[in-house]
Every structure is written in C-alpha cells, then in structure tokens.
Amino acid sequence: MGREKILFLFDIDGTLTRSRQDVTAKMKTFLTELCQRVPVGLVGGSDLAKIGEQMGDGLDVVKSYEYVFAENGLVAYKKGTCIGKQSILDFMGEEKLQTFINYCLQYMSKITLPVKRGNFVEFRSGMINICPVGRSCSQKERDDFCNYDKEHKMRETFVNDLRKKFPDLGLTFSIGGQISFDCFPTGWDKTFCLKYIQKDGYTKIHFFGDKTFPGGNDYELFIHKDVIGHSVTSPDDTIEQVKSLLAEMEK
C-alpha cells in the first residue's frame, strides 16, 4: 500500500448489516480482521444507540473503530472520544421546530395505514426522524410497511408535501431506511463526516454504501470528489468487494 494513508469507511444498514438488523458473526470477524490492516470508520444515519445495538458492542462501538459517525456524522467519535455533536434545536430554534413537528403529527394523524404503532417522531441530536407506522412496530410490521410503501409511496408523498410546505426551513429530507425518513439541515448529510476525516490527512478514502443512487442517503458521500465510492448490494457483497480491493492494493 506504499505511502498511501487509506481509510475504509462503511455505511451500516444494507452495507454491514441487513436493514436495522444485527451484524452477523461473519461480518464481525471480517471487520475485526480488517481493522488490523487499515483504519476503519462507520457512518450511519441512525443514532449512536441503534448503531451500537446493531454492531453488537453497545455504546462501546465507538472504541472498536477509528471513527464512528452516527446521524450522518452529526455525532462524531474518533478512537472512542466524541469530537463533534450538532444540534438541530440550535439550528432551527424551538418555535420553527415545533411548527414543523406539529405539522408532521397532524399529517400522520390523517393517513390510514394497514397498522399504526407508536414513536412517530424521534428527536435526535442533529436530525429528526419521522416514522408514519411508528418506530415501535414489530419486525414483521416493519417489513410489511416497507412493502406497502413501495406500492403506495407514503413516505415519498409525505416528503414532497413537506418540501412544498416548508421551503424556507433549510431542511433536507432523506429516505434512508425501511419505515422512516430523516430531516436535517441541508448539508448535514453523510458528507458532514468528511470535515473530521480530512483533518487527518488520508490520501484515499474508500466509502462503501448501498443507497448510492440520487435521493439515497449514501449518494452525496458516494459522489464526493475526495472519496472513492463503492456501491454494494448486501453485506456479503461488501465483504467480496473489500477483499478484491485489498488484493488489488497489495499487488
């Protein structure tokens, strides 16, 4: 690998794990071995608690990788230490925030779905996650909503409505997972994590993500000029692509 300073950066849902599922033993072993060869970073849309739960380390996940970026990097850790945290509350202010949340709750109160559960608005540090079916749904209800949404475009319609209703709030709406969408200030997408990484002088940043298409929450980072983007189709595909890349680099 010569004098290159290389970082491998991974999206989580759909890339290292199945959507909102726990990491497999196979992937965990693979990542542990990879970390011994190159610095590894994680960049997920979820909050830190969910990332820790999925990756099997709880909140200690921040100590297992060179970087852990939760909420797209709006909550950032390097070698186990918090190096940055953004606040959507500071960005929007209470009044605008409440107007926005109230509107979303009102909108969701008017739609009928096959099932509705609880936890429709999740307020995070740097973003708000809106979930029409409710985050407390079961795995089966999650999968059912995901299929229902493919047909009925509930989230797409909701997001289009929000774009029209709130053109001046400076928010971006991103459908990154199966049942919800994220709302965050424009520019606070996954490229946000680069402001921490770039300080550390990497000459090559390889990023692996599954939602690399326009509108997907990996897109902006995937196409960023300072990043070599790799589009994957599943956790197994990620392992195969990383293996090929390592073999290529070691030639």
Examine the residue annotation and report whether 11 is marked as an active-site residue of this protein: yes
By CB under 6 A, name the one of 10, 40, 41, 46 that touches ligand M1P: 46
Between 1 and 49, name the residue whose CB sits nearer to ligand M1P. 49
Q: What do you get for the CA distance between the two ends of the chain, in Å?
A: 9
C-alpha torsion sign, points 95, 98, 103, 106 = negative
- Rule CB under 6 A: is residue 86 a binding residue for ligand M1P? no
Among 45, 126, 134, 185, binds ligand M1P (CB under 6 A): 45
Q: Alpha carbon of 201 to those of 130, 170, 204: distances in Å? A: 36, 31, 9
Q: Applying CB under 6 A, which part among 42-50, 85-93, 103-111, 187-195 lies near ligand M1P? A: 42-50
Q: How far is the CB of 176 from ligand M1P (least distance, A)?
A: 3
Shorter beta-carbon distance to ligand M1P: residue 66 or 71 = 71
Which is nearer to ligand M1P, 41 or 44 (by Cβ)? 44
Which CB atom, from 86 or from 129, has the smaller least distance to ligand M1P? Answer: 129
Q: Does 217 participate in binding ligand M1P (rule CB under 6 A)? A: yes
Please state the three-class secondary structure of the chain as a single string: CCCCCEEEEECCECCCECCCCCCCHHHHHHHHHHHCCCCEEEECCCCHHHHHHHHCCHHHHHHHCCEEEEHHHCEEEECCEEEEECCHHHHHCHHHHHHHHHHHHHHHHCCCCCCCCCCCEEECCCCEEECCCCCCCCHHHHHHHHHHHHHHCHHHHHHHHHHHHCCCCCEEEECCCCCCEEEEECCCCHHHHHHHHHHHCCCEEEEEECCCCCCCCCHHHHCCCCCEEEECCCHHHHHHHHHHHHHHHCC
Is 13 considered catalytic here?
A: yes
Quick one: which of 199, 246, 227, 194 has its CA closest to 36? Answer: 246
Per-residue mark of binding to ligand M1P, 2-41 (x: CB under 6 A)? ----------xx-----xx---------------------
Which residue among the candidates 11, 149, 210, 218 is catalytic per the annotation? 11
Binding mask 108-137 vs ligand M1P (x if CB under 6 A, - otherwise)?
---------------------x--------
Q: Which one, 47 or 202, has the nearer CB to ligand M1P?
A: 47
How near is the Cβ of 175 to ligand M1P at its closest, in Å?
A: 8
Stretch 169-208 residues interacting with ligand M1P (CB under 6 A): 176-180, 182
User: Residues in the site for ligand M1P, rule: CB under 6 A?
Assistant: 12-13, 19-20, 44-46, 50, 129, 176-180, 182, 217
The catalytic site residues sit at 11, 13
